[in-house]
Structure 1
Amino acid sequence: MGSALTQLRAGGFSIGIEAPLDNDWTPAGEQARRVAQRLPGEPDLQRHADLARLADRLGFRALWVRDVPLYDPAFGDAAQVFEVFAYLGYLAGITRDILLGTAAVVLPIREPLLTLKSARSVQRLSHDRLLLGVASGDRPVEYPLFGRDFDSRGSRFRDQVALLRGGDGLRLPQGLDVLPANPTALPLLVAGLAQQQPAWIGAHLDGCLAYPGTPQDHRTRVAAWRAVAGDKPYASFIHLDLVEQADAPLQRWRFGLRGGRHALLAELQALQAADVDHVGLQFRRNERPLAETFHEIAETVLPHFAAHATAPQPA
């Protein structure tokens, strides 16, 4: 496995953050969105650079961004707004240690050679911090707009994985190549099954990006993943509202939880016990200021999982 995958699992368990770096799904965030006349699901990105730098300094392991090419009001979610590879290149320039992941790039609607060049560019510019999450996509409206067939996305996904691997899929006339030619293979993590059989996924991809769930959900999913992929990394996400009272009990909702830091720590320890390797925290429902929340997690939660982690940078 490449260095980014090794770093993701350093210490046995790690915690990251998922963009957008805004709590726009809260009542206060919704009110601010209306005042600013942003679209429903469009976050406030005024502080995204400062918060990305802060997450890096505090020792969060990875910053994950999504690939949502077109805003669709039916979904009401613009993700982090910026084009995924352009944004990763920007983040590579303003951070030092934090891994930069995609969760996940929709391969079948993209031009394959440009995707390869974009991914290699980010990998080189970030000094091998890229974690390339990939998927087949789940928004049918996008495919005809990009001149792609929705029903054949599974076969296109396989072809693009082969190309990203630089193997048989890279068929160029003699003398031509895609630069930069990075010495480290692109680390590919899959979101969902991407219209493939589990055995194929386990054999051809380097890691799993699983949908959020309870520790028991993940225990079952991890077992299925290990059966086809062996010891390759397994990661997932939590939509978190970290309340100020440390002892506030855990309350579950779809894709996440609300509670104090003790409840969060217990949940993360249960996920670690379920053999999950990494969890990315998403804060769009978080009522408190994000900088304050990042500091609390870094100071009271991260140290419990920091056996071999990179030490936080000085402020």
Structure 2
Amino acid sequence: MNSPALARLASGGFSIGIEAPLDNDWTQAGENARRASKRLPGEPDLQRHADLARLADRLGFRALWVRDVPVYDPSFGDAAQVFEVFSYLGYLAGITDDILLGTAAVVLPIREPLLTLKSAATVQRLSGNRLLMGVASGDRPVEYPLFGRDFAGRGGSFREQVALLRDGAQAILPPGLDVLPKMDAPLPLLVAGLAQQEPAWIGGRMDGCLAYPGTPEDHQHRVAAWRAVAGAKPYASFIHLDLAERPDEPLQRWRFGLRGGREALIAELQALRAAGVDHVGLHFRRNRRPLDETFHEIAEHVLPHFHLAR
């Protein structure tokens, strides 16, 4: 697929991005601040999100990923970045210049297909073709009845919506009707999980993979499975990071991520690159240090190991 955003994602062989929300609310200090401000459990502090998005853009992080969580569910305790995904991406497109804007991931079966197409085309146009559209079938059964959708049939709905996004809804629109704006570049679709599909279907129809966090050894096996059905299409994943102040602090693993100094982070990213991973988005909700300080350290000491100078 001739997508400028997809080509940039793994330009140079490997790249590093950031996953929203831009807050470290999963730390003890963050939890104390949440209680004091009477935010819900899992609801991040959004006061600095715009400044931090601009900073990530200026510092050269490759992509900024946002999630699709339509309804807050206290049993999950995670409101993601709170804002509606396409509205937020439109806002981010207006305040950033270069960073790619990704969804991780839009739950297609609970959305109205034509409006999803129009929203994606709008963000793609407003951002200058910076949209990377991660898509999924969803894993929260509580949402489906609220939207009048069938959870058991989400696999078929996912296939139908992928077809609609691919052909711009031409197969279903009556003659003379269209969805504007028209896309002037292909819309890159990256899948989270298997979306209730066979691996061969996913590999043939998706443009990239958004994999759950894991160790380099985990990803080595997953990348091999992806390459078997998708060839060289990009494979991306995420790390929940707590970057220590001491550059040489050893790595400590936890579920979905790690704590350590920048030397441990560099070694982990090098191992992921060697395992075949093309892009890693860093998630900072467990990060104990101020995010702007952390972004600057990574940009100065980590990105040069992986991003080619522009």
Normalised to the residue count of structure 1, the TM-score between the two structures is: 0.97
CA deviation string 1:20-77 (max 9, x = no partner) = 0000000000000000000000000000000000000000000000000000000000
Please list, as runs of the form range in 1=range in 2, the aligned pairs for 1:60-71 lying within 5 A after superposition. 60-71=61-72
Please list, as runs of the form range in 1=range in 2, the aligned pairs for 1:183-202 lying within 5 A after superposition. 183-202=184-203
Superposition misfits of 4+ residues, deviation over 4 angstroms: none
Please list, as runs of the form range in 1=range in 2, the aligned pairs for 1:89-100 lying within 5 A after superposition. 89-100=90-101
Give the C-alpha shift of residue 170 in structure 1: 3.6
Percent identity for Structure 1 against Structure 2: 81
Determine the C-alpha separation between the residues in 2 that align with 1:238 and 1:193: 20
**Unaligned residue ranges in structure 2 (runs of 5+):** none
Counterpart position of 2:204: 203
Give the C-alpha shift of residue 115 in structure 1: 0.1
SS in 2 for 1:53: helix
- Is 1:219 aligned to 2:184, yes or no? no
Please list, as runs of the form range in 1=range in 2, the aligned pairs for 1:152-301 lying within 5 A after superposition. 152-166=153-167, 170-301=171-302
Give the C-alpha shift of residue 202 in structure 1: 0.3
Counterpart position of 1:112: 113
Determine the C-alpha separation between the residues in 2 that align with 1:204 and 1:155: 14
Give the C-alpha shift of residue 167 in structure 1: 6.3
SS in 1 for 2:242: strand
Determine the C-alpha separation between the residues in 1 that align with 2:171 and 2:46: 37
Counterpart position of 1:142: 143
Aligned residues: 309
CA deviation string 1:135-177 (max 9, x = no partner) = 0000000000000000000000000000000167741110000
**Unaligned residue ranges in structure 1 (runs of 5+):** none
Counterpart position of 2:35: 34
Contact 2:170 2:178 in 1 (8 A): no
SS in 1 for 2:145: helix
Give the C-alpha shift of residue 182 in structure 1: 1.1
Determine the C-alpha separation between the residues in 1 that align with 2:148 and 2:80: 23
Please list, as runs of the form range in 1=range in 2, the aligned pairs for 1:117-136 lying within 5 A after superposition. 117-136=118-137
Determine the C-alpha separation between the residues in 2 that align with 1:29 and 1:142: 28
Counterpart position of 2:15: 14
Contact 2:168 2:179 in 1 (8 A): no
Aligned amino acid, residue 19 of structure 1: A
Determine the C-alpha separation between the residues in 2 that align with 1:188 and 1:194: 12
SS in 2 for 1:165: helix
Determine the C-alpha separation between the residues in 2 that align with 1:305 and 1:170: 42
Give the C-alpha shift of residue 306 in structure 1: 1.8
Contact 2:25 2:286 in 1 (8 A): yes
Contact 2:117 2:168 in 1 (8 A): no
